[in-house]
Each structure stands twice: as C-alpha cells, then as structure tokens.
Amino acid sequence: MLLGETMRRATTFNREEIIKHFLDIDGCALSIHEIARQGELTENKRPGDWYGVVSISSVLSQIFSKQSSGFEAFSKLGFIVFSDSTVIRSKIIDAIVESSS
C-alpha cells in the first residue's frame, strides 16, 4: 500500500494504472511472482522464505532499477537500502542531490 501510494504521488497515474503493476500476471513488475523470481536471483530466497526489511528492500530496488527506463512510475522513484535498518538522513539527502544532478 505504501509503495502504491508513493507511486501515485510521484506520477500522474491514477489508481487503476498503478494497481496494474501489482497484478499477479506475467509482465507485471511488482507481482508476487516477479518479487519471488528477483528474490531467488539476488537474495537466494526461495518462494515461501521470509523476507526481512533489508531483503525486500533490496529486491524492490533491483526491480525498480531494471524497470526505470520503461515506466514513468519507476523512473521517478529511487530506493536507498540501509543494510543495518538504520535510516541515515545525510545519506538520503546525498541521494536526492545526486539524482537531481
């Protein structure tokens, strides 16, 4: 829900256009099947394995990186993954400044 709401605020897409990215059909970037596939590739997670905060953040970051050239919803958002789950304000600001230039 949070990711969908963030996508809505960052783009001109309406609710239905955003929901299409989450459908569980082939070709939908944020389907549970695509998340499981990407989790196997990058995190060595099998379907049914637990994804902690860092694991799911890393998987979503990879999906967004792969999709960013094709979809407005993905190109306007970025991910910062903090491996120790501590949010560091200066790193967020640095990432924003870097992406703006």
Residue boundaries of the structural domains of the chain: 2-100
Q: What residue type is 96 in one-letter code?
A: I
Query: What are the pLDDT digits (tens) for 42-97?
Result: 999 998 999 988 899 889 888 888 876 666 666 777 778 887 778 889 988 888 88
Task: Dig out the tokens for 77 from the structure.
Answer: 């958002």
pTM more than 0.85: no
**DSSP 8-class letter at 68:** T
Q: In a 3-state reduction of DSSP, which class is residue 20? A: helix
Task: Dig out the tokens for 63 from the structure.
Answer: 């999906």
